């Protein structure tokens, strides 16, 4: 190609940094008119103002449109990222969250002027309790890990209230990575516990290490291998016997809605991820929402403010002396709640069907791919299945190579190298919103990649090649960080 | 159900493939006594149109800023938002993607966050920014935890003029630690009385907010000197970043960590969430920083690209010893803020800040003219405290009926400030609406 | 990754179970990580070094070494006071990958008790340990 000319493919492959588009004198903002006089300011306090580039509205729109084209979303194609529940995000939910009565509602309005918002929250609370079978809930946590922290703070406050000083927490090797970090924020020292040869946790293993210095256990059910912790009742019994509490990481709730009764599993505290199970979009990493449900005996520790009804009206109350306190500037991510409520209202009792189909899709993939990928735990899975790269290692092909090659086939890669309990993990979560045809195509693509791994492994090592960018140098990025431009 | 693509035939073929008879059979691994006995007692599924109508009713039961004159700020600010913001963040490639773990298919999100980090650092006058935290309050709690890690001391002094909710969140986060939190009182001017901590050497950090909860501009330069002598970190919080369009940034005045709420930057108030936790610091503290970071690098062919970097600080790698447990953050809100900041540009940002300042000064002056007392004399941005005559509460309630929300009663937060109200005026408050309000009060 | 036979394992250093090496010269012990360790960790991107004059016991953690997606703690093969740190590693952590026994040394320590060196492994014993763990 001639110097200075570039093809369309090239011009959309690279978008200049925003400030390269800036020219003083341009503006992308419709500045409100000045209807009051100018008031002088004490010069000593004045600064320069941030040196943002001045760009026109067209510049802004083109720039971010081009950036969006460099992304892959659920609307682009199948996004089988294990543990993340990348289901379809219904458009009608976005519309509701944008209603002016919601977006414009100031959080400190007197309660009588925010009855609609409070009713949305109260309704969502009620539905989440129905779905989980638990007794009380807070919507305040802004994400799953924030929910975990809230749960750990509740556990900490509970033991303190009962005059018991506990310093340890049991965390199985199949737990989410956030669990130990959340527990550490409350000063708990992690006691790791290994799952059994079948990928699930034995009740005896827990009973052996559970003692009166241990605050409880954090358990993900279904676990990160996509397996249901069948011994959960006995595990809970062992923990409760020594005065501990059971924390359930509900990130994988999409497998068991309407099927398992979480309230009957012996779980005392459970967080949910509205941005997983309840279809709200992930937004490239947030905002999410991580409500925490508890059993009756822990309700008084929930964060404040809580929604109460008073003379038939909704109100916010801080009058809960045992509460752990506030964990968010206001009440949590309200607009995410609107979307989740819209989803539940649109699904009704079909939520159970969603879980059934999510599990069907995962088991189907497991059956279809287990001949070409090593399946470390061959037993019925829940909403996701975990393979490894063991069969491809003889050709010196890794999980990473296969994941990158999937991009060339038009799929977002699954979660890789997690859970840590199996080496070279490939964790696939299709969700219920993928059709049989989509899944068949995905399976065929993976089979083709396994074939390539055996016969033309270099294709995988070079992957992705079909996209606009090839593998990036993460080592250099970490050695000499360049975090601003 | 329209989100579930499976036909009866698909289901039966797939069940065959997994050697099950029915969908219920997929769950035989769940012990019977763990199963739900009854059906989900949820209302019947609504159609799109039924949902529209229900939600419209709910939304209609809130006071919206087009129907009400709302002089409320206190951590959540009504500003005009260019239509481009919601249009662009609504693009599904941004909205429906996950955290950019696979850089080759996430360059859009990654480059946008890199631009966000650059703007956030500029805005606060600091070296670098993370990719965002949940909101201003949790960002402040994370800043305190970071200061405790860096300094290895365990007392934090926090200004009483920090947003009361933020102080509450900090206390919640620090409760399980052995950290002691002491509050620094205020001066008559409406600023923090730093003299009480002067000479103190045991403080991990001193925490201040500017503009503070009363809208007053704090003297961070003076505090920075005290912190330097006491070998304490200076954490500067904020709830209204538009102020930095006019006033000196915390960075240029010597702050070590700047954190706060970015909701003002193109994110609707939405009943308090989601917001945007902005978190910036000095280069030397980068490895102690919580949250994700995006860095610039090259691909195999030498083309510029972006990746998540310095991940060894984070929960999924360092687990119990991570700098934070945060995973999901406020990415899409950070994108909104980036679009907003670029739409305004340097020129627009400064002009808008000045209009906000002038409008609030207008209302302040008119209230003074009417004999209302402005008890705190320090220069302020957007917000100011008004001491109203005894019995104003009755007027306040009457005004609500006339669709005017006359500020935030402060007695709940500062019991000594009875009949004090915190007023907020932004570019969305027209002179006309302010004059109308002034006419309604005695 | 390298086969065991391809590893560079000098005779004149002693090895710890955690893959640190130690070399005694003129009463000072130089400490680094073995070729096996750097090879397993992959590209090193950051080394967290102790401060000069810090005192550690044998087996105590004195710093950490990071690749893009992993962090490993380093433990003292012998107790003592840190007298020198390799500050070149701050900007060029890759020295550990390129030259684990020379330019990629990590700290120098004045040992409390030279006899502690006796617990460390000589080359052959270290190779046997590596083979055993495979």
Question: C-side interface with A, Cβ within 8 Å?
Answer: 43, 45-46, 66-69, 93-94
- CA angle, A315 as apex, A309 and A319 as ends, to 5°? 90
Cα atoms in the Cβ-side hemisphere of radius 13 Å centred on B14: 28
Q: ipTM of the predicted structure?
A: 0.97
Domain boundaries defined on chain B? 69-81+346-440, 83-340
Q: What is the pLDDT of residue A420?
A: 86
Distance from CA of B101 to the nearest CA of C (A): 12
Per-residue confidence band for A155, with pLDDT thresholds at 50, 70 and 90: very high
Q: Which domains does chain A have, with CATH numbers?
A: 93-347 (3.40.640.10), 351-471 (3.90.1150.10)
Question: Which subunits count as partners of chain B given 3+ CB pairs below 8 Å?
Answer: A, C
Percent of chain C with pLDDT over 70: 99
302-321 of B, contacting C, C-beta below 8 A: 311-312, 317-318
A175-198: pLDDT as tens digits: 888 999 999 999 999 999 999 999
B50-89: pLDDT as tens digits: 999 999 999 999 998 889 999 999 999 999 999 999 999 9
- CA angle, B256 as apex, B254 and B258 as ends, to 5°? 100
Q: For the residues B7-36, what does the mean pLDDT come to?
A: 96
Cβ A113 vs Cβ B62: under 8 Å? yes
Nearest CA in chain C to A417: C69
Cβ B251 vs Cβ B258: under 8 Å? yes
Distance from CA of C116 to the nearest CA of A (A): 31
Can you tell me the distance from the alpha carbon of A457 to that of A242, in angstroms, rounded to the nearest whole number? Answer: 54
Segment holding C38, helix H or strand E:
helix C35-41
Burial (0-12, 13-18, 19+ Cβ within 10 Å), C1: exposed
Q: What is the pLDDT of residue C3?
A: 85
Per-residue confidence band for B238, with pLDDT thresholds at 50, 70 and 90: very high
Mutate to test the interface with C, among A393, A475, A476, A482 (most CBs of C within 10 A): A475
Percent of chain B with pLDDT over 90: 94
Flag if A14 and B304 touch (Cβ within 8 Å).
yes
**What is the DSSP code string of B31-92?**
-GGGB--S----PPPPPHHHHHHHHHHHHHTB--TTTSEE---TT-------HHHHHHHTSH
Q: What is the pLDDT of residue A13?
A: 54
B266 and chain A: CB distance < 8 Å anywhere? no
Q: Which domains does chain C have, with CATH numbers?
A: 13-133 (2.40.50.100)
Cβ A257 vs Cβ A131: under 8 Å? yes
Flag if B93 and A331 touch (Cβ within 8 Å).
no
User: Could you tell me which residues are beta bridge partners of residue B62?
Assistant: A114
Structure tokens at C74: 């380093």
Cβ B181 vs Cβ B175: under 8 Å? no
Flag if B331 and A286 touch (Cβ within 8 Å).
yes
Cβ B335 vs Cβ B269: under 8 Å? no
Question: Which subunits count as partners of chain A given 3+ CB pairs below 8 Å?
Answer: B, C
- CA angle, B108 as apex, B106 and B113 as ends, to 5°? 100
Q: What is the pLDDT of residue C134?
A: 57
Residue A437 pLDDT > 80: yes
Query: What DSSP designation does C103 have?
Result: T
Can you tell me the distance from the alpha carbon of A483 to that of A108, in angstroms, rounded to the nearest whole number? Answer: 36
B274-311: pLDDT as tens digits: 999 999 999 999 999 999 999 999 998 899 999 999 98
Segment holding B280, helix H or strand E:
strand B277-281
Residue B94 pLDDT > 90: yes
C68 and chain B: CB distance < 8 Å anywhere? yes
Measured in degrees and rounded to the nearest 5, phi and psi for residue A382 equal -95, -120
Segment holding B421, helix H or strand E:
strand B420-424
Structure tokens at A13: 């492959």
A88 and chain C: CB distance < 8 Å anywhere? no
CATH number of this structure's domain B69-81+346-440? 3.90.1150.10
Q: What is the mean pLDDT of chain A?
A: 94
Cβ C31 vs Cβ C60: under 8 Å? no
CB atoms within 10 A of CB B132: 31
Structure tokens at A127: 């539905």
Distance from CA of C45 to the nearest CA of A (A): 5
User: Could you tell me which residues are beta bridge partners of residue C48?
Assistant: C64
Q: What is the mean pLDDT of chain B?
A: 96
- C-alpha A453, offset from chain centre: 31
B96-118: pLDDT as tens digits: 999 999 999 999 999 999 999 99
Query: What DSSP designation does B106 have?
Result: B
Residue B388: closest CA among B404, B400, B376, B375: B375
Q: Which residues of C touch B287 (CB under 8 A)?
A: 46, 48
Can you tell me the distance from the alpha carbon of A295 to that of A203, in angstroms, rounded to the nearest whole number? Answer: 22
Per-residue confidence band for B416, with pLDDT thresholds at 50, 70 and 90: very high
CATH number of this structure's domain B83-340? 3.40.640.10
For residues A61, A64, A69, A72, the Cα torsion angle rounded to the nearest 10 degrees is -140
Structure tokens at B328: 């999901």
Per-residue confidence band for A4, with pLDDT thresholds at 50, 70 and 90: very low
Instruction: Say if residue A124 is preceded by a cis peptide, omega within 30 of 0.
Output: no
Cβ C78 vs Cβ C116: under 8 Å? yes
- C-alpha B323, offset from chain centre: 20
Q: Is B150 helix (H, G, I), strand (E, B) or coil?
A: helix
B165-215: pLDDT as tens digits: 999 999 999 999 999 999 999 999 999 999 999 888 999 999 999 999 999
Q: What is the pLDDT of residue A175?
A: 84
Q: For the residues A397-416, what does the mean pLDDT come to?
A: 96
Nearest CA in chain C to A478: C45
Flag if B317 and C69 touch (Cβ within 8 Å).
yes
- C-alpha A216, offset from chain centre: 24
Measured in degrees and rounded to the nearest 5, phi and psi for residue A229 equal -75, 95
Q: What is the mean pLDDT of chain C?
A: 93
Cβ A422 vs Cβ A386: under 8 Å? yes
Distance from CA of A85 to the nearest CA of C (A): 23
Per-residue confidence band for A2, with pLDDT thresholds at 50, 70 and 90: very low
A356-405: pLDDT as tens digits: 999 999 999 999 999 999 999 999 999 999 999 999 999 999 999 999 99
Structure tokens at A431: 């969700």
Q: What is the pLDDT of residue B29?
A: 94
Looking at per-residue pLDDT, the higher value among C68 and A49 belongs to A49
Q: What is the pLDDT of residue A1?
A: 34
Flag if A286 and B329 touch (Cβ within 8 Å).
yes
Residue A320 pLDDT > 60: yes
Residues with Cβ within 8 Å of B284's Cβ and at least 6 positions away in sequence, in order, are none
Distance from CA of B103 to the nearest CA of C (A): 14
- CA angle, B116 as apex, B112 and B119 as ends, to 5°? 140
Q: Which residues of B touch A157 (CB under 8 A)?
A: 175
CA distances (Å), origin B76, targets A106, B240, B387, B425: 7, 8, 22, 12
Q: For the residues A266-270, what does the mean pLDDT come to?
A: 97
């Amino acid at each position: 190609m001639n110097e200075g000319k570039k093809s369309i493919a090239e011009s959309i492959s690279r978008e200049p940094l925003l400030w390269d588009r800036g020219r003083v004198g341009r503006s992308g903002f419709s500045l409100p008119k000045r209807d009051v006089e100018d008031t002088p300011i004490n010069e000593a306090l004045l600064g320069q103002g941030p040196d943002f580039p001045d760009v026109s509205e067209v510049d802004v729109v083109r720039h971010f449109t081009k950036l969006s084209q460099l992304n892959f979303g659920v609307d682009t194609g199948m996004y089988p990222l294990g543990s993340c529940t990348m289901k379809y995000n219904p458009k009608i939910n976005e519309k509701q969250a944008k209603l002016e009565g919601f977006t414009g509602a100031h959080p400190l309005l007197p309660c009588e002027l925010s009855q609609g918002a409070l009713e949305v929250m109260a309704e969502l609370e009620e539905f989440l309790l129905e779905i989980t079978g638990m007794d009380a809930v807070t919507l305040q946590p802004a994400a799953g890990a924030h929910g975990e922290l809230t749960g750990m703070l509740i556990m900490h406050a509970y033991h303190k209230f009962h005059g018991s000083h506990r310093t340890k927490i049991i965390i199985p090797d199949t737990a989410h990575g956030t669990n130990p970090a959340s527990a550490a924020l409350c000063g708990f020292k992690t006691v790791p516990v290994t799952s059994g040869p079948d990928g699930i946790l034995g009740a005896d293993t827990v009973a052996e290490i559970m003692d009166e210095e241990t605050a409880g256990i954090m358990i993900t059910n279904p676990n990160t291998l996509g397996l249901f912790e069948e011994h959960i009742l006995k595990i809970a019994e062992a923990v409760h016997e020594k005065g501990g509490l059971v924390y359930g990481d509900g990130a994988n709730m999409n497998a068991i809605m309407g099927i398992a009764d979480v309230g009957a599993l012996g779980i005392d505290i459970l967080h949910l991820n509205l941005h997983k199970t309840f279809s709200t979009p992930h937004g490239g990493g947030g905002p999410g929402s991580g409500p925490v449900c508890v059993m009756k005996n822990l309700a008084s520790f929930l964060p404040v403010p809580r929604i109460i009804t008073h003379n038939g009206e909704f109100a916010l109350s801080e009058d809960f002396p045992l509460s752990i306190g506030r964990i968010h500037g206001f009440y949590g991510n309200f607009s995410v709640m609107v979307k989740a409520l819209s989803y539940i209202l649109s699904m009704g009792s079909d939520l159970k069907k969603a879980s059934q189909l999510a599990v069907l899709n995962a088991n189907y993939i497991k059956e279809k791919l287990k001949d070409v990928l090593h399946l470390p735990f061959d037993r019925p899975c829940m909403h996701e299945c975990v393979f490894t790269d063991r069969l491809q290692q003889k050709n010196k092909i890794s999980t990473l190579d296969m994941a990158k090659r999937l991009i060339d086939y038009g799929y977002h890669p699954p979660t890789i190298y997690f859970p840590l309990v199996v080496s070279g993990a490939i964790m696939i979560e299709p969700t219920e919103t993928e059709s049989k045809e989509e899944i068949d195509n995905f399976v065929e693509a993976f089979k083709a990649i396994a074939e390539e791994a055996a016969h033309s492994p270099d294709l995988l090592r070079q992957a992705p090649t079909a996209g606009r960018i090839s593998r990036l140098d993460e080592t250099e990025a970490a050695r000499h960080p360049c975090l601003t431009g | 159900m329209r989100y579930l693509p499976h036909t009866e035939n698909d289901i039966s073929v797939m069940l065959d493939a997994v050697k099950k008879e029915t969908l219920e059979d997929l769950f035989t691994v769940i012990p019977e006594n763990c199963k739900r006995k009854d059906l989900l007692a949820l209302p019947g599924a609504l159609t799109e149109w039924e949902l529209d109508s229900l939600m419209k009713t709910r939304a209609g039961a809130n006071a919206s800023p087009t129907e009400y004159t709302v002089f409320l700020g206190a951590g959540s600010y009504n500003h005009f938002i260019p239509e481009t913001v919601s249009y662009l963040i609504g693009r599904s490639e941004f909205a429906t993607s996950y955290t950019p773990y696979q850089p080759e298919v996430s360059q859009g999100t990654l480059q946008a966050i890199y631009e966000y980090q650059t703007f956030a650092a500029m805005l606060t006058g600091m070296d670098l920014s993370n990719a965002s935290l949940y909101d201003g309050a949790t960002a402040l709690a994370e800043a305190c935890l970071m200061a405790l890690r860096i300094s290895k001391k365990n007392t934090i002094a926090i200004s009483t003029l920090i947003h009361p909710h933020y102080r509450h969140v900090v206390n919640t986060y620090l409760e399980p630690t052995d950290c002691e939190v002491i509050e620094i009182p205020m001066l008559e001017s409406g600023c923090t009385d730093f003299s009480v901590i002067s000479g103190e050497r045991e403080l991990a950090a001193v925490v201040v907010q500017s503009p503070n909860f009363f809208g007053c501009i704090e003297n961070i330069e003076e505090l920075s000197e005290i912190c330097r002598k006491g070998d304490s970190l200076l954490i500067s919080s904020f709830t209204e970043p538009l102020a930095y369009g006019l006033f000196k940034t915390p960075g240029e005045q010597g702050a070590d960590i700047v954190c706060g709420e970015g909701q003002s930057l193109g994110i609707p108030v939405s009943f308090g969430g989601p917001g945007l936790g902005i978190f910036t610091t000095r280069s030397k503290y980068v490895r102690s920083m919580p949250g994700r970071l995006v860095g610039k690098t090259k691909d195999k062919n030498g083309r510029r690209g972006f990746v998540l970097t310095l991940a060894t600080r984070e929960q999924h790698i360092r687990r119990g010893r991570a700098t934070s447990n945060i995973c999901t953050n406020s990415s899409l809100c950070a994108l909104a803020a980036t679009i907003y900041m670029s739409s305004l540009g340097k020129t627009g940002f400064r002009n808008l800040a000045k209009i906000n300042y002038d409008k609030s000064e207008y209302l302040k002056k008119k209230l003074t003219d009417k004999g209302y007392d402005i008890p705190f004399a320090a220069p302020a941005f957007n917000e100011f405290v008004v001491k109203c005559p005894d019995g104003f509460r009755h007027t306040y309630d009457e005004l609500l009926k006339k669709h005017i929300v006359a500020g935030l009663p402060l007695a709940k937060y500062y019991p000594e400030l009875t009949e004090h109200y915190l007023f907020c005026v932004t570019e969305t408050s027209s002179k006309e609406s302010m004059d109308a309000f002034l006419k309604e009060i005695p | 990754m390298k086969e065991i036979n391809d590893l560079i394992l000098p005779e004149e250093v002693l090895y710890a179970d955690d893959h640190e090496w130690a070399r005694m010269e003129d009463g000072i012990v130089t400490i680094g990580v073995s070729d096996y360790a750097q090879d397993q960790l992959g590209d090193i991107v950051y080394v967290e070094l102790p401060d000069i004059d810090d005192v550690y016991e044998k087996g105590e953690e004195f710093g950490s070494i990071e690749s893009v997606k992993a962090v490993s703690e380093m433990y003292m093969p012998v107790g003592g006071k840190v007298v020198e740190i390799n500050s070149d590693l701050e900007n060029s952590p890759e020295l550990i990958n390129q030259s684990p026994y020379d330019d990629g040394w990590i700290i120098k320590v004045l040992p409390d008790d030279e006899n502690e060196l006796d617990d460390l492994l000589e080359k052959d014993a270290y190779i046997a340990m590596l083979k055993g763990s495979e």
